[in-house]
Structure 1
């Protein structure tokens, strides 16, 4: 069924060069430090809330509703989501006008089966054009959410006049839909935690900040056969920081509040950080758990904030976070961590065994990259007696066929850097329709990413495998199939990628949404 709206309407030489970027990055940082807050663990600048923050751990954790299809046939399930303005109760005693999928933030969760198509009709009842991107989806180009494939508001007849104020090419209409659009998702991919969000050229940051994000979860027979926690103990967690005005509305430093000019004010060019941490739309919530294993699908849905997540207190012996999956699905084997890093757009699947704690323990999920209130995320309260747990984390989860770098038919370099008028890739601000690469379908390529500041790099269409970081092995959180990789200042990363099935234009961009809106994107065209 539809969710209705409520309320209102050389490889070694390249990798070694990563260290050499340090001098250049330091120089650039010195030139922009007056307008940005740059810290070792965190890009961006804090936007303080005018409304007082609520007490932590008072609000029960909301679980996004699972969307039922309007109808089904032999090949597909058909859904409808209405994008609309809704007043949400986030802060005590205040209402927050939000842009929502179906009246909630996060939007409703779609649970899909691998190999079975989902057709999602999005109706736009918002006052501005929208675009929907299924992040992590192996999706044909006409349903991928190309930034100019806009859905106009219902009743609108033309794309509104807009420009980028010097931060890139003006938006152009690519494939305009009037009022609604059907997105076709084949789901021909491994079980994985995906998410859908707005992707309109130049205005992704304010749209996601206002609430346009939701989960799309794919399952398959292989995953279903594993003894992992399921049902009420398989919980998606969208972590996102936000700031609030005195009246409870979302505060955001848009250059033009009327959304005619893309991008934020200059002080926030390096990213907007909120001072209230929301999990599934609730500030610092709590979740009552039994002393059993739980699966948590963590998504960093923040515009710019990075997280280093840890359990406090850790369980006896440590290693309380058992990672079983990454952006593109299951790892070959579980990896235990005391902390897990997440940059914007990344996902990580974890299993936490609360039987390792004494009954009655209150376990906080903390953010070691945060300070003050942003160092807290949520709390787990152990209730109930210990019982039988028929779940487990197997020693082997799946088999992943490694892409062989020696078979690569091309090596491409993408340099993410600050330029005079915005954030650029290979010295170019985003130019729609001017691809930086034309990879051949079915072939392996090596893509090299170099950075000046923090840049979480996201590639559309197919996941990749990280094969090197700074002339060394991949990092702790680079295992498995990835579609977003966190690059720290002056880093160099190599990935192996193979695009399949779908020709057409796709996107490569930074997933710091302020960087993305200020032109740190590029087209590539698969052929």
Structure 2
């Protein structure tokens, strides 16, 4: 079934009606059960193997289903997961070799799949009204045309925050020869970190409280689905691919030792050179990759990944100020290195832009809006031609809000923020831009490679759902994102 926006708003106010949406509780102001941090072992989501491969690509199958898992010790939590786990399995792909991923919907609501960061054709991009109903499936074709850390998640209109909160998110990694030939940590030392914050009732059920559509902030930090995990490491270098897959919370990450995080990549791939920082700010849906060199620490050292209070979050729960702990427990040799040059990032000249556009992100009529408008699939708010270079001014009109703005299809570069240069680790290719209250962030991109309709929205998922999303159309004559490759009823034929 397709839940309408009015239905969703009614559900928010009626906790007894939330059972069809996954047994979410509505414990406004309620705290999660107290748990001792750093007691549970760190775990890594499994890598998904293709069910079939041929000369053109690899074929995968993922089922969206409900299951019970233990997140808090001794308690059972009902989740919606990809293949029944949260986060979902990781897909590792090779640049230039396409993936065909079949998503099967065994959940009682319609779903949409967005592979965030992929330059997909419109019909495979996860357009918010391109639904997969219960009992249907859809095959998504991904070109894998950039080496980067991406993620896949639900993108159903007006339901994204609830669906992702229930567990529908997973990582998708694309590698190429250039990256693999660099002496960066690899294999067991290349680690995904999917960070989320959630709130639980006393029986272990998830509490969904979006604070009257302002934002959702949990009081327990999860990494790869584990609360405050403890990761045992060797005294060597590790590469971490970090994703903020939360609903609304902006994180600020630092080590308890005050040592540097060595940033090597942002949303859309490697930076031109490593950047050292003691504090990494990461908004919802942003991805960064960093290296921690544990060789400087004696065996027995414990290092906490901290998350100090960020002023623009409408939440200051002290339990969210710790994320996980690294325990240095063994000695190993290390043949990895951090090269001074990673991947050349060619700056797009501002002079090459053929036009500039301004998008204002604000609140009016009890809804989140862009340029005083809400989502309308029949309206297009920008129409660059294929190959056009444009500057977009992303303006936060004020209030206590951060808007992590995500622009589909293209990789972009930040020009400046309120006239000041971007932070050093923001100077690569990106697709999410953190715009704080009163800020204007200028970004530049070359639009393409596909024609068609694509979305732009705030990635505070509560804001997106209510109704801070619009669309642009690149060129003309692109495939219709809803009708071109519609979901089909089960059973699905074999690949």
Give the shorter-chain TM-score range: 0.7 to 0.9
* Correspondence for 2:358: 413
Relative to structure 2, which stretch is displaced further, 145-154 or 463-472?
463-472
| 1:211 equivalent in alignment to 2:167 | yes
Q: How does 1:330-369 map to 2 (within 5 A)?
A: 330-369=270-309
Counterparts of 1:122 and 1:475 in 2: how far apart (Å)?
A: 37
Counterparts of 1:484 and 1:204 in 2: how far apart (Å)?
A: 17
* Correspondence for 2:17: none
* Correspondence for 1:224: 180
Distance 1:217 1:48, change over 3 A: farther
Q: 1:106 aligns with which of 73, 87, 90?
A: 87
**Kept after mapping to 1: 8 A contact 2:416/2:441:** yes
Counterparts of 2:171 and 2:388 in 1: how far apart (Å)?
A: 30
Report how far residue 269 of structure 1 moved.
Answer: 2.0
Counterparts of 1:252 and 1:222 in 2: how far apart (Å)?
A: 43
Report how far residue 476 of structure 1 moved.
Answer: 3.7
| Superimposed CA distance per residue, residues 405-455 of structure 1 (whole angstroms, 9 cap, x where no aligned partner) | 111111100000011130000010111121110111111100000002310
**Kept after mapping to 1: 8 A contact 2:264/2:271:** yes
* Correspondence for 2:488: none
Q: 1:431 aligns with which of 376, 382, 404?
A: 376
| 1:65 equivalent in alignment to 2:46 | yes
| 1:56 equivalent in alignment to 2:37 | yes
* Correspondence for 2:129: 148
**Kept after mapping to 2: 8 A contact 1:238/1:301:** yes
Distance 1:476 1:401, change over 3 A: closer
* Correspondence for 1:422: 367
**Kept after mapping to 2: 8 A contact 1:305/1:343:** yes
Local SS of the residue matching 1:250 = coil
Local SS of the residue matching 2:342 = coil
Counterparts of 1:380 and 1:496 in 2: how far apart (Å)?
A: 38
Counterparts of 2:247 and 2:377 in 1: how far apart (Å)?
A: 22
| 1:180 equivalent in alignment to 2:137 | yes
Counterparts of 1:485 and 1:311 in 2: how far apart (Å)?
A: 24
In the superposition, the TM-score normalised over structure 2's length comes to 0.87
| 1:468 equivalent in alignment to 2:416 | yes
Q: How does 1:112-261 map to 2 (within 5 A)?
A: 112-154=93-135, 179-189=136-146, 191-253=147-209
**Kept after mapping to 2: 8 A contact 1:48/1:243:** no
**Kept after mapping to 2: 8 A contact 1:53/1:91:** no
Q: 1:382 aligns with which of 307, 328, 333?
A: 328
Local SS of the residue matching 1:272 = coil
Report how far residue 47 of structure 1 moved.
Answer: 5.3
**Kept after mapping to 2: 8 A contact 1:413/1:449:** yes
Q: How does 1:512-523 map to 2 (within 5 A)?
A: 512-523=460-471
Report how far residue 388 of structure 1 moved.
Answer: 2.3
* Correspondence for 1:488: 436
**Kept after mapping to 2: 8 A contact 1:202/1:519:** yes
Runs in 1 of length 4+ with deviation above 4 angstroms? Answer: 46-51
Distance 1:415 1:51, change over 3 A: closer
Counterparts of 2:122 and 2:45 in 1: how far apart (Å)?
A: 28
Report how far residue 51 of structure 1 moved.
Answer: 4.3
Local SS of the residue matching 1:273 = coil
Q: 2:267 aligns with which of 306, 324, 327?
A: 327
Q: 2:223 aligns with which of 279, 287, 291?
A: 279
| Corresponding pairs, count | 441
**Kept after mapping to 2: 8 A contact 1:47/1:274:** no
Local SS of the residue matching 2:81 = strand
Counterparts of 1:350 and 1:298 in 2: how far apart (Å)?
A: 8
**Kept after mapping to 2: 8 A contact 1:333/1:397:** yes
Report how far residue 371 of structure 1 moved.
Answer: 4.0
**Kept after mapping to 1: 8 A contact 2:235/2:299:** yes
Gaps of 5+ in 2: 1-26, 310-315, 476-495
* Correspondence for 2:313: none
Gaps of 5+ in 1: 1-45, 155-178, 254-263
**Kept after mapping to 2: 8 A contact 1:505/1:523:** yes
| 1:313 equivalent in alignment to 2:257 | yes
| Superimposed CA distance per residue, residues 484-510 of structure 1 (whole angstroms, 9 cap, x where no aligned partner) | 011111000100011222111100000
Counterparts of 1:366 and 1:200 in 2: how far apart (Å)?
A: 32
Q: How does 1:27-46 map to 2 (within 5 A)?
A: none
Counterparts of 1:47 and 1:195 in 2: how far apart (Å)?
A: 30
Q: 1:503 aligns with which of 451, 465, 470?
A: 451
In the superposition, the TM-score normalised over structure 1's length comes to 0.82
